[in-house]
Amino acid sequence: MTDKKLFKYCFGCSPETLTKAVIITPFMEAGMFAAHGRIKERFKGKLYSGVKVETGGKEFCVVKCGIGSGPAGDAIMLIAESCAEEVVFLGSCGGLGELSLGDIVVGNSAFNGEGFSCYHDGSLLGKIFGDNGKLKGRSTGYTEKLKIFMKENNETVKYADVYTIGSLTAESKDFLSRIEKKGFSAVEMELSAVYTAAERTGMNAVGILFVSDLPLSAPLWSVMDAPAKEKCAHAKKKSIEIAVDFVTR
């Protein structure tokens, strides 16, 4: 397959469909962005789906990549074949340390803890921690633009080092406590792949996350009361608003 054929297979559209700025998300549906502009085009391939949105004379695309580092990283590698120059990853995370439910977080860096087998065959322990070479940084200049944008718009966000984990079932309290002690204040499943792919392809990338659960005290499968649900819903809505406003600034 040529890259264009692979792109068409995965996205259901040509690379020319995409815009300069792309929001990529593991789980948010296109309808969540309808309130922020007019949906001009929809596309759906074997792996990815999305929409092109116009607002205030500017266009951006939203791509749903699915959960996990592989699909997210491959999406960025393929998006780099289009005219896209900047990617905002929009997702959720479990909060550690001083993060609270509903906080909006920008990923300063993401630790490459990708892969399933290393968590369950014993090869991970004693090898992965403290390996600074596995820290994947965001696009510094692009993140600075986001920081300036946040300040100018009086947005309240927190900046964190994120741990990208390769297995949901590996999130034991013991393991989470260990990464918390190492200075990571958020855990999720895609961001290091996004930053790696962006670095490899020369794209600008930054990750915006909202804290959807507190895995050490109130994991995602625990029953939320009404105030907690309201916090999460507001944070999801706010993170979408920030991402859209930033890519159409």
**Closest CA relative to residue 198, chosen from 97, 74, 83, 103:** 74
Type of residue numbered 27: F
Q: What is the pLDDT of residue 217?
A: 93
Q: Taking phi first (over 0 means left), then psi (-120 to 50 degrees means alpha), and beta for anything else, what does residue 202 get?
A: left
CA gyration radius, the chain: 18
Pairing of strands 86-95, 104-113: unpaired
Beta strands in the chain (DSSP E): 21-25, 38-44, 49-55, 58-64, 86-95, 104-113, 135-137, 158-165, 186-188, 204-213
Residue 1: its pLDDT value, please?
Answer: 45
Whether the Cβ atoms of residue 20 and residue 86 lie closer than 8 Å to each other: yes
CA 93 distance to own-chain centroid:
9
- What is the enclosing helix (H) or strand (E) of 99? none
The pLDDT tens digits along the chain (249 residues) read 457 899 999 999 999 999 999 999 999 988 889 889 999 999 999 999 999 999 999 999 999 999 999 999 999 999 999 999 999 999 999 999 999 999 999 999 999 999 888 888 876 655 555 554 466 766 788 988 999 999 999 999 999 999 999 999 999 999 999 999 999 999 999 999 999 999 999 999 999 999 999 999 988 888 899 999 999 999 999 999 999 999 999
- In whole angstroms, give the CA distance from residue 30 to residue 199: 27
Q: What is the CATH number of domain 3-247?
A: 3.40.50.1580
Place of tokens 């079932």: 169
